[in-house]
Structure 1
Amino acid sequence: MDPAINPLRTLLIDNYDSYTYNLYQGIAEVYGAPPKVIRNDEVEWPELRRDLERGLYQAVVLSPGPGTPARPSDIGVSMHLLRERTPIPVLGVCLGMQALALAFGAEVRHAACGPMHGRLSGVRHSGHALFHGIPSGPKWQVVRYHSLEVPQASLPACLHATAWALAPPDEAVMAISHATLPYHGVQFHPESVATRWGPALLRNFLTLAHEFHGAPAHTLPEGLLPQGPPGTAPIPRPYPCTDDSCGPVLGTPLSARIDLGLVHARLGKGALPSSLGAAPRVFERLFRPAPHAWWLDSAVTDRGGRWSFMGSGKGGALWRTASYLGDGVLEEGLSGEGGASASTTTHRLPGGFWDWLDEDVQARRLCPAAATAAADLPFDFWGGWVGYIGYELGTELGPGAGLAADVAGNPPHASLVWADRLLALDCATGEVYALACHIQGDGRAADEAQAWVAGMLEAVQAVAGEPDGETTPGAGAAGAPQDPVPSPDPVLDFQPRERHERYLDNIRACLQAMHDGESYELCLTTQLTRQGAPPAWPLYRTLRALNPAPYAAWLDFGAHGGPQICCSSPERFLRGDRGGVLEAKPIKGTAPRHPKDPVADAASAAELEASDKERAENLMIVDLLRNDLGRVCVPGSVQVPSLMALESFATVHQLVSTVTGLRRETASVVDCLRASFPGGSMTGAPKLRSMDILGRLEAGPRGVYSGSLGYISTNGAFDLNIVIRTAVVWGDRISIGAGGAITVQSGPEAEWEEMLLKARVLRRAVASVDALGVVAA
């Protein structure tokens, strides 16, 4: 920011949108100070009016949001501010502009050209000061997310149209300003990653606000006007931090903290063969027979997956389990002799699952000496929680989620194991590390950890020396197409929870909700279930061969009534490294592979890359995840290094984007998860309103599917996937979740077929295990 620019005290009123914190980030960087954010129903108008009269704020920005400004619950206190002609500069975005128009008597109606969600348009403008330095015409491309519009013919004399979309598809009003009051509105989204000159528009509003208050107006040199969203590449902080204020244990009493030591050792390159069979053989020999065995499996190395981690219930004194049953009830198991669960207790959490997890993660961390000694380890998981967090835990993250919290008849909302002993496998080089945590200062525990590490590496060497009997296809080539459909396509008695016509009805309901402005995108899903589950471990081995994936996993919580999870996910939910850099990798946009026809396969990929529908689908989720990261990241650090890159997996082509940011030092690991969960690629946007709509349409809970699984490490790092392409075995039942993003360009039958396509490789894996007549070991 230009140091001569005076920071502006800005109030940002959030209309329950999922792009509000993109505005927050842009305002913070361009204005030199972050805005104060309040929800539109957080304070009553008399209280806010007093704050404005006292000069607490110098400008107000009204965020986008779902619904209509004609519905008081959708616009809240924003309408009071406008109708009372409050003398303060106001910028309304999307719904905010519509509220400005409605407040002064204009009409707000359904858009004549239909909903414009994630679509780009050229814009011409009148030369108003709000658009200083911004070209008028096709060079200025903006992103639109709206189903409603303000017809120019309905504008009263006090409101002037100042910008219009280029035809085609329409010439809709894209901006308005009041003739005498400092009120301005834009129908498009200046904060979108794909809007050009968005920061320049925010900068121009800053100038107008300063002029209103009699402050000197500053002109940013033309060469400094950014054409895209603000943002600089996040630079990791040093680890370990020598200042105890880094990574603070916020709100955790010192008496509750447990300082941890860490023992680790390695076997060098080539210690483990790179064939597909080596890692499963190590896991099967050394861990799988034990209760609570787990394997975070990077089954491919060319899609961000390099390190695999594995362990089991045969842990040390720190090992324990936790299952969240809903309604504040947590069941914990503690370690006994030989690592088995010795005792189980059930208790009610005063603050819910997320508060418990936050306190627990912050209370157990490596002591400075251990952190320094381990700083050169080339991976981030050094022990900590491993497991899954189910989709329904979105119920605890704010109003409007609309999800059933009842876990009766379904697996726990979350199941976790605190892994104090584990192996880390470098899938690219064959290196193997053994790690064991212990309580710092406990000499006996340190000796036991040292003995376990030495013994485990000896056991790995013994297993690695066995002949490789693996006959299934090799991993490491996720882009090699697999035949996705056996002939004939197996039905296998899987029954979708919503049958064909009901699913189509749900799609039509989604389309109507989007037409009415309630959502930009809705990620509708269903569950395909079957009584008579195949043995879970052979199923995972088969799935791994058919559909190798970078964020795959095998979790076995079946010994104590939990599920067994066979996951072949290609999608990262959220990763945070030791240096505080966050990364999300949303996938939106899917097309089938054609393994027997390279020409058709290339054509399918090209059609996906060129699809306006699929690109809009991806863009909406990228902007949503920028918002989620923006809630916890340093202003200016959120960026998109890769937008809609084509990646080809074994059975599908997909569009993958990458969003990064630098976590604020005051934000905990669980703050990051709370800000982003559930993953936006499984909800739609705006997130809360979309989840509410989906919760009313889908006939039951999603459970493990659509949630996340992975690890939270003792060093402040974490890595979790999106649980898709996954089979959940629970008792004698197997379920497969599948679905897709519904946008205004969706066709109901095509979406039904896409849902079946995503489930097909899992059904094929089940069919293969059934055909072999494999029984559980």
Structure 2
Amino acid sequence: MTTYPVKVVMNDAFSTLDEFIDSLDESEGRSSGDKSNFVLGHQALGYVYGKEVTLAPCGPVHGLMSSVYYNSNQQNESDNDDDDADDEREQLSCQLFRGIQQNFNVVRYHSLVVDFPDDAFSGDSEIESIAWCKGLVGNEEEYPSDICMALRHKQYPHVGVQFHPESIGTGEAGYQIIRNFCDFAYQYKMNNKKEGLVRGESIDAAESSLPATVQLKTNDLIASKTSHHQIYIHKLEGQSSSSSHPEEVFQELFSSRENSFWLDSSTGKTQLDNGEDNEGCPIISNSRFSIMGSNDGPLSRKIEYFGIEHPKEKRGLRVTLNSGNTETSTIDTDILSYLRQTLIEDGGFSDHVHMVSFNETEGDQTFHAATDIELPFDYRGGYVGFLGYELRHITQCSLFELEGGHGCTINDSDASRERTNPNVPTAAFFFADRSLLFDHHTGDWYLVGVANKDEYHIDDMLGWMKGTQAQIEAIGKLPSSTISSSSFVPNRPKDQYQMDIARSHEEIRNGESYELCVTNQLEAEITLPKRSDKKLHESPFDLYKILRTNNPAPFSAFMNFYNKDDDDSSDALLLSPYAAPHQNGESESSDMVKTINDRIMQELRDSTKDQAENLMIVDLLRNDLGRVCEVGSVHVPYLMNIESYATVHQMVSTVRGNLDGNTSNAIDVIEACFPGGSMTGAPKQRTMEILNEIEEGVSRGPYSGCLGYISSNGCMDMNIIIRSAILTPIPNTDDSMECWKASIGCGGAITALI
């Protein structure tokens, strides 16, 4: 959208600016700064100057297209006073639509409009309408009335547009509108040498006074040759045709351990067989690898954070070392601050890799350093875990301070702690110093180790590599698992959920939100036969094996944070087999299958609701990534593509940007984008407030958060947690059975269409 950096401040943080683009103008109608207002700012401008803001006659319009036509004569009037402002204003009239053809298409997100009941070019009104539409593209005849799409003050340099020129759907016309405004503002600035202020300070001074937590950026985390850790990788050669399957390896090596993880892909090989080796698609390229490990290396540790949804005595961050020692931080420490600080203390990010090879004939082991080694994956060991949805309180405060706000406080009065599982942390990670990576495309295994630079740790790690290789080569096939079905009970019953949908539609009609992702929690007790050859925490893995078989997905995970000996720690297991909502068709006839699938794909491709949802989230993510990426680098290479998987079709858009390495790192990306807009709706902050009321303050837990890794080299790969189950053990009087509480998050996006 722009090749120059944009300074973003909270809407109450500015005093005077030469120019600003505002989404909510708080009645400073007669200030000297130039204003271009979008949507709410456009409506506020109309209200301040005496117009009525009413419900749109056609109803809410969010993520949909309209054709706009405009008045090409946009000269300002003289105010006939004794000052010299008249001539200046006439010379600096904002030709907002210069260079744009009539009847250009725009994206609209609004439920309210500025009402111009009389002729737009007459009367004593201080403002006038300068652009209109007659409905939506394709149904202009159904809503023929002119709807104001842009207005301006007749004397002051204040303009507003009802549509979104910055939307990916508005395209080049939107870019031109912003260029026109910037050109106009630049000319105005040349005639009015005024410094922009934020709360009485110059913008540059205000930025330098941001809190230290906001200024702590990637400069301390840049790839460093002084890192305290070294990365070792051993590739198991000659395993392509006979290598053990990841499920078998995890079962044998990690399922019996109390703290373990598996970032799984059960579709990687299938995609390769189908000729889908497409590195341009992140779903296919990133799902090529599975990563697994446990919390038992000499440098490993488990980090658990309990946020405001937990009782005060439970809150805080706990770090459990492999030796079993536990240290508890202060209540003010959150997990993102901890991760950022420990990465600094560890010496920053490092991508210096030592490739390890073994000489079997002589029985010794050697390794050599290779800084320019090309590996097909980014993972180098590091932090593996999840961030639950309620971490939103931390990330939203960080954004508030980043954009000029001060004194952000987290209100915990609306958290329903009596309905929060005390054993499930808000967020949890392992520091994985020893892990395994499997390449589904080649069948190769990689052993990834992180060690200190002393000789003892290096020798110990090399011994682990040799032993693990021998274990993998000796693994045999495993029997399949079965489990009885269970009935789940919703946290909020059907009648209440229908009322929640009605409430969501009302909020959308009133202009409070464009889209709300309303969720619910389903709970059940799962009873399993107790087996003498298995420990309690091993049983959920049998359930996960069934899920990944019945619902193969490009991204899924099994995480075990079980700890039977620590009352303050978590007893939670996360099962997350990812999927999307559009089912593939099934039939015995392959021709019929293709016909049904083609029809379903076309229905999805033509779905107005899915298009609107997708467009809204794409625009939201472009905004989020724009906070941390290089100026002008955020782009959308794929918009609303239809992709097919084992059991589903889904509409996929890809948003990309180049991370600004001078100011941002992986933790900053999380703070800028979390929680994912597809699990909240838009605009994000206000929508989350409404959702918290609708969902009765009940914590979503890991559901709607994200899971993945933050690698030792600074790379990060996180996926939003959707279809998932949280299992925690519950007391059981039957010695022959074991009992688990299972919680599943579910929900969907609520929109309003004409």
TM-score w.r.t. length of structure 2: 0.77
Partner of 1:766: none
1:548 to 546, 552, 561: 552
Q: Which residue of 1 aligns with 2:279?
A: none
Partner of 2:28: 81
The answer to whether the Cα contact below 8 Å between 1:386 and 1:418 also exists between their aligned partners in 2 is: yes
The number of aligned residues is: 613
Question: Which residue in the other structure is 1:381 paired with?
Answer: 379
Cα displacement (A) at 1:373: 3.0
Using a 3 Å threshold, how does the CA distance of structure 1 residues 188 and 269 change in structure 2: closer, same or farther? farther
Task: Indicate yes or no: 2:340 matched with 1:358.
Answer: yes
- Taking the aligned partners of 1:374 and 1:207, their CA distance within structure 2 comes to 46
Instruction: Label 1:529 to 1:181 Cα distance change in 2 as closer, same or farther (>3 A).
Output: same
Runs of 4+ in 1 over 6 A off after TM superposition: 400-403, 470-473
CA positional deviation for 1:458? 2.4
Deviation at 1:430, TM superposition (A): 0.3
Give unmatched runs, 5+ long, in structure 1.
1-25, 64-74, 217-244, 337-341, 474-485, 571-586, 747-777
Q: Residue 159 of structure 1: which of 122, 127, 139 is its match?
A: 127
1:207 matches 2:183 = yes
Q: Deviations over 1:660-701 (max 9, x none)?
A: 101111112111101111111100001111111111111321
Matched, 1:453 2:465: yes
Partner of 1:715: 713
Match of 1:740 among 732, 736, 748: 748
Q: Distance in 2 between matches of 1:470 and 1:606?
A: 40
CA-CA distance at 1:363 after TM superposition: 3.1
CA contact (8 A) 1:426 1:432 kept: yes
Contact 1:269 1:430 in 2 (8 A): no
Q: What is the DSSP-based 3-state SS (H/G/I as helix, E as strand, rest coil) of the residue aligned with 1:288?
A: coil
Question: What letter matches 1:614 in structure 2?
Answer: D
Residues 187-226 of structure 1: per-residue CA shift (max 9 Å, x gap): 000010110311111111122223334569xxxxxxxxxx
Measured against aligned partners, the alpha-carbon deviations of 1:242-286 in whole angstroms (never above 9, x if no partner) come to: xxx99522699x9xx961112211023644647xx7111111112
Match of 1:758 in 2: none
Offset, 1:605:
2.0
Go from structure 1 to structure 2 and tell me whether the alpha carbon gap of 1:282 and 1:122 turns closer, same or farther (over 3 Å shift): same
TM-superposed CA distance for 1:368, in Å, is: 6.7
3-state secondary structure, aligned to 1:39: coil
Q: For the residues of structure 1 that align with 2:71 and 2:703, how far apart are their CA atoms?
A: 50
Q: Is this contact kept in 2: 1:395–1:405, CA < 8 A?
A: no
| C-alpha separation in 2, matches of 1:368 and 1:352 | 27
Corresponding residue of 1:186: 161
Partner of residue 575, structure 2: 566
Letter in 2 for 1:330: L
The CA deviation at 1:144 is 0.3
Q: 2:326 aligns to what SS in structure 1?
A: strand
Alpha-carbon spacing, 1:686–1:533, altered in 2? closer, same or farther (3 Å): farther
Partner of 1:119: 64
SS in 1 for 2:646: coil
1-structure distance, mates of 2:288, 2:741: 32
Check 1:448–1:93 CA distance in 2 against 1; reply closer, same or farther (3 A cut): same
The change in CA–CA distance for 1:314 and 1:79 in structure 2 (over 3 A counts) is closer
- 2:424–2:701 contact (8 Å) kept in structure 1: yes
Structure 2: stretches of 5+ with no match in the other structure: 75-94, 193-215, 272-282, 309-314, 355-369, 398-409, 529-538, 565-569, 730-739
Alignment of 1:49-198 (within 5 A): 49=15, 52=16, 57-63=17-23, 75=24, 78-82=25-29, 85-127=30-72, 128=74, 129-137=95-103, 140-153=104-117, 157-167=125-135, 168=140, 169-170=143-144, 171-196=146-171, 197-198=173-174
The letter of the residue matching 2:327 is T
Equivalent residue for 2:584, pick from 583, 589, 593 = 593
Where 1:130 maps in the other structure, the secondary structure is: coil
| Contact 2:524–2:741, Cα closer than 8 Å, also in 1 | yes
**1:259·1:366 contact (CA, 8 Å) conserved in 2?**
no
Matched, 1:691 2:702: no
- In structure 2, the CA distance between the partners of 1:246 and 1:432, relative to structure 1 (3 Å rule), is farther
What residue in structure 2 maps to residue 528 of structure 1?
522
Q: Could you tell me how far apart the structure 2 residues matched to 1:278 and 1:408 are?
A: 34
- Counterpart of 1:319? 300
- CA-CA distance at 1:349 after TM superposition: 4.4
TM-score of the superposed pair, with normalisation by structure 1:
0.75
| Structure 2 CA distance for partners of 1:269 and 1:647, relative to 1, 3 Å | farther
How far 1:718 moved relative to its partner? 0.9
Larger mean Cα displacement after TM superposition, 555-564 or 536-545: 555-564
Distance 1:450 1:125, change over 3 A: same
Distance (Å, rounded) in 2 between the aligned partners of 1:684 and 1:106 = 30
Name the residue aligned to 1:283.
250
C-alpha spacing 1:401/1:638, structure 2 compared with 1 (3 Å): farther
Relative to structure 1, is the Cα distance of residues 367 and 471 closer, same or farther in structure 2, using a 3 angstrom cutoff?
closer
Give the SS at the match of 1:195: coil
What is residue 249 of structure 1 aligned with on the other side? 220
Q: Which of 306, 319, 325 is matched with 1:332 structurally?
A: 319
My pick for the range that moved more, 447-456 or 164-173, is 164-173
* Paired residue secondary structure (1:114): coil
Shift of 1:629: 0.5
1:266–1:432 CA contact under 8 A, matched in 2: yes
Partner of 1:726: 724
Gap change, CA 1:246 and 1:184, over 3 Å in 2: closer
Question: Match for 1:555: what amino acid?
Answer: M
Match of 1:751 in 2: none
When structure 1 is superposed on structure 2, of 118-127 and 295-304 the one drifting more is: 295-304
Structure 1 position 361, deviation (Å) = 3.0
Cα deviation for residue 395 of structure 1 reads 1.5
Aligned to 1:764: none
Query: 2:701 matched to 1:703?
Result: yes
Aligned AA for 1:692? E
Other structure's SS at 2:259 match: coil
Match of 1:658 in 2: 654
Residue matched to 2:275 = none
* 1:7-37 Cα deviation digits (max 9, x unpaired): xxxxxxxxxxxxxxxxxxx3x42xx3x2322
CA–CA separation in structure 2 for the residues paired with 1:723 and 1:533: 25
